[in-house]
Amino acid sequence: MSGVLSIIFLFYHLLLLSDFSSSFPLCTNNRSPFIPKTPLTFCQYEGSVCCNSTEESQFQNQLKAMNISDPGCASIMKSVLCSRCDQFSAELYRIESKPRAVPVLCNSTVSANSTQSQQGLIDSCSEVWNKCQNVSIQNSPFVAQPLNSTSKLTDTWHSKSSFCGTFGGSSEDDLVCFDGGPVSLNNTEIPSPPSGMCLEKIGNGSYLNMAAHPDGSNRVFLSNQAGKIWLATVPEEGSGETLAIDESNPFIDLTDQVYAETALGLMGIAFHPNFQENGRFFASFNCDKVKWSECSGRCSCNSDVGCDPSTLGSDNGAQPCQYHSVIAEFTANGTTSQPSVKPKEVRRIFTMGLPFTSHHGGQILIGPQDGYLYFMMGDGGGTGDPYNFAQNKKSLLGKIMRLDIDNTPSATRFSNLDLWGNYSIPGDNPFSEDKELQPEIWALGFRNPWRCSFDLERPSYFLCADVGQDLFEEVDIVTKGGNYGWRVYEGPFLYNPPESPGGNTSATSITTIFPVMGYNHSEVNKVEGSASITGGYFYRSMTDPCMYGRYLYADFYAGGIWTGLEHPKDSGNFTSSKIPMTCALDSPIQCSVEDGSSLPSLGFIFSFGQDNRKDIFILANTGLYRVVRPSRCNYTCSKENTTSLPHPRSTPPSPSPSPSTGRRLRISLLEMMLFFISLFMFGVSCNL
C-alpha cells in the first residue's frame, strides 16, 4: 500500500512540474525567483517572486520614509518599489547593463513592439508623471540627491516627455518594461530549430578541455585526461587546414602528478584574465596519495559532515580518500608565447580527498564579471549519493564553489574559516546570508556537474549540465545560493534513494530550482541503458547564423546533440530540439560515419569548446570537430550569405532527414503514464 501511495504522490508532483522547462531569469540580487514560505502582503505578487517578507518590509518602510501626502502618488510609488519582487526584475532593472535605481517604465509612445501583451498596457511612465510631478517626495529614487532631501519631479524635469525620455522605454527587442504590475509575456510562436548542424574535423587528438588564449588570437589551449596541455593554432573555417599542434612538445606535462582512470585525470584548465602580464594559469586534476607524496589533504568524508571514512568500504580496491581533487596554480614565467614551460607548481589552491572514484566534476572557470574561480564538484560517487552530501551544507561535495584566487586569506577577516587551501572567500558568497553554508559554496544540489559555461553576451547566465542517475539528464541556470535538488529530485522527478546512511532531506524543506532543459534516458540508445549529459555553450558565432543564440549540449555517448532556445528572450523559458548533424565532405580530415547512415561517428563527446572567434567545437575521443557553415552540408539557413562564400571542394549530399527533428520538453499526461510503466523496467545507468 505504501508503494502505491508513493507512486500517487510522485504522480501528483509530476503534474505540478509538467511545465518544468519553464524557469526564470535572474533577480536583481543575482538569484532565481522562488515561492516564499510566507506569502507577500504589502507587495501584491503571487507565485514565484524575487523577494521575501523581510525585503518586502524594507520596501514598506522605504515608502513610509518618503512621506508622500498624495494617495495616488503613494500608490504608484509603492508599485515601483515592489517591482523588485517581480520574477523578471533583472530585466526590468536591466542588470546586464548599468543597473538602474528604478525599473524601465512602459512608455507606449516609444514603440508598439512588445513581448508583453499590448492590450490594456498601462503607460506607467505617464502615470508616474501625472500623479507625482508636483508631489514632494523625500529620498525619491528618481532623483540623485543628498540623504533626507525632499524634491518634486518638476524640480528636475520640466515636461513629461523629458521625464519619460530618462525613465521610459518599451519591451521592444524582446525586453520587458514595468506597466504597474507583474510582467506578463505573450506566448508568441517559437522559431523553428535549424535544419541541421554541419561539422568539420580538424584534429585527430582526444582532448578533454579547451580554453581560448587570453591574448584574443586564434590560439587555444587543449588538454587531455592523462595530464598534458598543448598550445595549438586553429585554422580559418573552410580553409581546408587542420589544427596546428605539436603533440610531442606540450605546453606543460603533468602526467607525473595526475592520476588518470575512467573518471579521474586532468579535469579542467583555466587562465587568469591577465595571463599575458602575469603568466598565471590553473589546472584541476586528480591525484593518488599512494603514488605521489604531495597528494594529501583532508578527506571530504569526515565528522564535520557526519561521515566516517572507515565505513566507506573499498571502491575499486582503493583506500577511502586515496584519490584527491586538486586545483594547482602554475606560471609561465613570462614565456606565454613559448610552446612549453617547466611544470613547477606555484601554489596549491585547493585539495580534497574523495570518498569514491566518480562524480567529482572537476571543471574550473574564471567568472567573466567578477574574476573569481568557479569549481564544479560532484556528490563524490556512490549510487544515489548515499551520504546525502549534495544537500549537506557543511559538505563541499555536490556543490559549485566560488573562490578568490587573487588574495590570500586575511588573518582578521577569515580567521574563523577553516579553508581547504590557499584562497580567500568572496564577501558576497551565499554564506553571508545563509550561515549554515560552508563559505566556499556558490550553489548546491548537484550530482555531477559536467561542463558549465558563462554566456558571452549575458555573463549572468551561468549554465551547467548535471548528470542524472536513472531517468533524466538536466541543464540548470546556476544562481547564487540556488539549490538544484539532487538527491531529493533527479531533474523534475522526485528521487527515492536506495540507501541513506547519511540521512534524507525532505522536498518541503528546500526551495528547488528545476532544470530549464534536459532529456529522458529513453531518448538516447547509443549504449543500452546509458545516458550522461555533456554541457556546452550558447552559440554566439555568425559562422552558422541560424544557430545563433541557441544553447548546445549533447549526450556523452553521442546519443544526440540538442539546441535549446530561450523564447521570449530573458524569459527563462527554453525549448529543446534534438538536431540532425552531418560532416562536410570537404572536411580537412574525413569523418568516420556510423554503419548504415550518414551520421558522423563521434564516439564519446567529452566536452564542447569555444575559441576567440566564438566558434564552437566538439571534443570527442575520435577527434576535434568544429561547427561550420550549414551550406557546406547542404543544410538550408536563410540567414547565411552564400553568395560571397567560396565554393567547397566537393558538394556533400543532402543530409538524411532525422527521424526526430526534436520535440519541446513538455511532459504530457501520456508521457507521465509511460514513465511509470517504464520506471520499474529501468536499470541503473552507467554515468560518469
pLDDT, tens digit, 9 for 90 and up, residues 249-283: 999 999 999 999 999 999 999 999 999 999 999 99
Residue 8 has pLDDT above 70, yes or no: no
Whether 358 and 483 map to the same domain: the answer is yes
pLDDT value of residue 297: 92
Question: Which of 667, 501, 517 lies closest to 578 in space, CA to CA?
Answer: 517
What's the mean pLDDT when you consider all of the chain? Answer: 85
Q: Which three cell numbers stand for residue 42?
A: 504589502
For 300-311, give one letter per residue: b (16+ CB within 10 A) or e. bbbeebbbeeee
Which pairs count as long-range contacts for 499-505, CB under 8 Å and 24+ apart, including other chains? 499/383, 499/384, 499/386, 500/386, 500/388, 501/311, 501/386, 501/387, 502/305, 502/306, 502/307, 502/385, 502/386, 502/387, 502/388, 502/389, 502/392, 503/306, 503/388, 504/388, 505/388, 505/391
Mean pLDDT, residues 213-217: 95
pLDDT value of residue 133: 95
6 domain-assigned: no
pLDDT value of residue 667: 36
pLDDT, tens digit, 9 for 90 and up, residues 494-523: 999 998 888 999 999 999 999 999 999 988
Rounded to an integer, what distance in angstroms lies between the CA atom of residue 377 and that of residue 38?
32
Q: Which three cell numbers stand for residue 18?
A: 509538467
Q: Are 103 and 83 in contact (CB under 8 A)?
A: yes
Whether 317 and 418 map to the same domain: the answer is yes
Whether 486 and 558 map to the same domain: the answer is yes
Q: Are 109 and 123 in contact (CB under 8 A)?
A: yes
pLDDT, tens digit, 9 for 90 and up, residues 313-366: 666 667 889 999 999 999 986 544 554 556 678 999 999 999 999 999 999 999
270 domain-assigned: yes
Domain count, the chain: 2
Whether 389 and 489 map to the same domain: the answer is yes
180 domain-assigned: no
Quickly list H helices, 36-171: 53-66, 71-82, 89-92, 124-132, 160-167
Q: Which three cell numbers stand for residue 206?
A: 582526444
Whether 550 and 590 map to the same domain: the answer is yes
Whether 221 and 155 map to the same domain: the answer is no
pLDDT, tens digit, 9 for 90 and up, residues 516-534: 999 999 888 655 457 999 9
Among candidate residues 118, 139, 174, the one where a domain is terminated: 174
pLDDT, tens digit, 9 for 90 and up, residues 43-71: 989 888 999 999 999 999 999 999 999 99
Whether 296 and 378 map to the same domain: the answer is yes
Instruction: Determine the 3-state secondary structure of 173 from DSSP.
Output: helix
Domain ranges, residue 555:
197-675
Q: Which DSSP state fits 21? A: T
636 domain-assigned: yes
Mean pLDDT, residues 105-111: 72
24 domain-assigned: no
Whether 169 and 202 map to the same domain: the answer is no
Q: Residues for the chain: how many in total? A: 688
Whether 565 and 421 map to the same domain: the answer is yes
431 domain-assigned: yes
Percentages of the chain per state (helix, strand, coil), in multiples of 5: 15, 25, 60
Q: What is the dihedral of CA 634, 637, 641, 645, to 10 degrees?
A: -20
**Is the four-CA dihedral 19, 25, 31, 37 of positive or negative sign?**
negative
Residue 489 has pLDDT above 50, yes or no: yes
Whether 496 and 626 map to the same domain: the answer is yes
Among candidate residues 140, 174, 208, the one where a domain is terminated: 174
Mean pLDDT, residues 119-136: 86
Whether 374 and 516 map to the same domain: the answer is yes
Rounded to an integer, what distance in angstroms lies between the CA atom of residue 182 and that of residue 83?
8
CATH of the domain at 228: 2.120.10.30
Question: Which of 625, 532, 530 lies closest to 584 in space, CA to CA?
Answer: 625
Question: Which of 118, 115, 184 lies closest to 569 in space, CA to CA?
Answer: 115
How much of the chain, in percent, has pLDDT values that exceed 90?
Answer: 65
Among candidate residues 141, 174, 207, the one where a domain is terminated: 174
The residue whose grid cell reads 509603492 is: 78
272 domain-assigned: yes
Q: Which three cell numbers stand for residue 260?
A: 588518470
452 domain-assigned: yes
Question: Which of 425, 422, 256 lies closest to 350 in space, CA to CA?
Answer: 422
Whether 170 and 241 map to the same domain: the answer is no
pLDDT value of residue 512: 93
Residue 98 contacts by C-beta under 8 Å, 6 or more apart in sequence? none
